[in-house]
Amino acid sequence: MAPGLTESYPATPHQFQKAVSRAIFPDGIKTSGQHPPLYNDLRPFEDFPKAINGPTVWRSEDFISAPEKWVHRFTEEEIAEMSEAADAFLSSGTPLTGISKANFRIPRMSAFMESIRSDLLNGKGFILFKGFPVEEWGNHKSAVAYMGLGTYLGYFVSQNARGHVLGHVKDVGDDPKQIDKVRIYRTNARQFFHQDDSDIVGLLCIARALKGGESDIVSSHHVYNVLSEERPDVLKTLMEPIWYFDRKGEVSEGEEPYIKTSIFYLEKGGNGRVYSKYVQHDSRFCFAYARRWDPYYVRSLTRYSDRGIIPPLSPAQLEAADVLEATCKRLALHMVLEVGDIQFLSNEHVFHARTEYTDHAPPAPRRHLMRLWLATPEDEGGWKLPFHDSAEKKRGGIQVDDRPPVAPLDAE
């Protein structure tokens, strides 16, 4: 067994969702929420591949001088089709939380969006759209068209305890030093390399900062390979289920305020290492992915470790976190999101980060990105994750009790 797997863990309920009230959840599907992994499905270091190959492994130099490989500017025809679909949806009076492929129809773009979805899940894992007419359409119509596009990639999941399925990355004045309470996306602080609690994350730029707030992304599989070559000891530490993640109070009744988990896992299926579309290794296909890594959610737990409730980060963990961040930064692809840009990323095999920023002085608008978290369940091509909700439509996300989904048009 891998180190750390000999300990006992709280039992994880393995059950699928029961029917929910459509009066609360308009599409009849509730966000599953945060859960610990199925510890018996976690694999030891020795079972992981020495190296990962395939389209999920990429280098920044592959794209820096080749924007045609990862940037798509919306055509006039695509904008017209999205505009028509958004106008029809607005005329229907349906709330934003009820948007779906059935009521946001873009037949000419649908095959293209399916190819984007496939590339996000099984390819390089990112795309930058340009030319989305946010200034012409305004926030409401832009939100409709943006969420409508999202329905062709996955299912919306709640992003916080408020039930936001349309999130807003914006400095609302929260203190980033209060990391035990504050979500960093609500501040102007730097966001370290991390992944969100969804399969895909989308960001639509509504307004830019005066300075900073720029985006960095990196293939976590390239990072994996570099660590395997340079620091296998660090990689092994990242695979062990010894990492506690802070839920920052966004918990349902009876749940623990933290989750004990790993950083890297092997996908379920067959012998636990089979993923037949991707990375070949020793005549087999192996696939490793990272789940829910965010250093802010690790370092904020001193309020529990100082009281002896959970162990403090060991020297090996502190070093692993620093080495992981430094490696991501060294290998990253840098980009600037302009107004009207949409970035979609895989949370399975791409880490992302944001630089610190300074906003314009009032009355100019503050930096503002609309955010989507999207789930891609197993039966629709999603990855087979070692979590009990892997087969659910809206796996992952953050769900507190029966808080209904909401889609505000600005930060709250």
- Spell out the per-residue pLDDT of the chain, length 412, in tens: 233 333 444 444 434 456 788 888 988 899 999 999 999 988 889 988 888 888 999 999 999 999 999 999 999 999 999 999 999 999 999 999 999 999 999 999 999 999 999 999 999 999 999 999 999 999 999 999 999 999 999 999 999 999 999 999 998 887 766 666 667 778 888 889 999 999 999 999 999 999 999 999 999 999 999 999 999 999 999 999 999 888 888 999 999 998 998 889 888 875 432 222 222 222 223 344 444 445 555 656 778 888 888 898 899 999 999 999 999 999 999 999 999 999 999 999 999 999 999 999 999 999 999 999 999 999 999 998 889 999 999 999 999 999 999 999 999 8
Q: How far apart are CA 313 and CA 1, in angstroms?
A: 21
Are β-strands 71-73 and 126-130 bridged in parallel, bridged antiparallel, or unpaired? parallel
Task: Compute the C-alpha angle 252/144/339, nearest 5°.
Answer: 100
412 contact partners, CB below 8 Å, separation of at least 6? 162, 164, 168
Q: How far apart are CA 237 and CA 320, in angstroms?
A: 7
Q: What residues are paired with 92 via a beta bridge?
A: none
Closest CA to 129 of 187, 74, 80, 170: 74
The structure tokens listed for 26 are 């308009």
Q: How far apart are CA 217 and CA 378, in angstroms?
A: 25
405 contact partners, CB below 8 Å, separation of at least 6? 25, 26, 31, 97, 156, 158, 163, 164, 165
Q: What residues are paired with 194 via a beta bridge?
A: 352
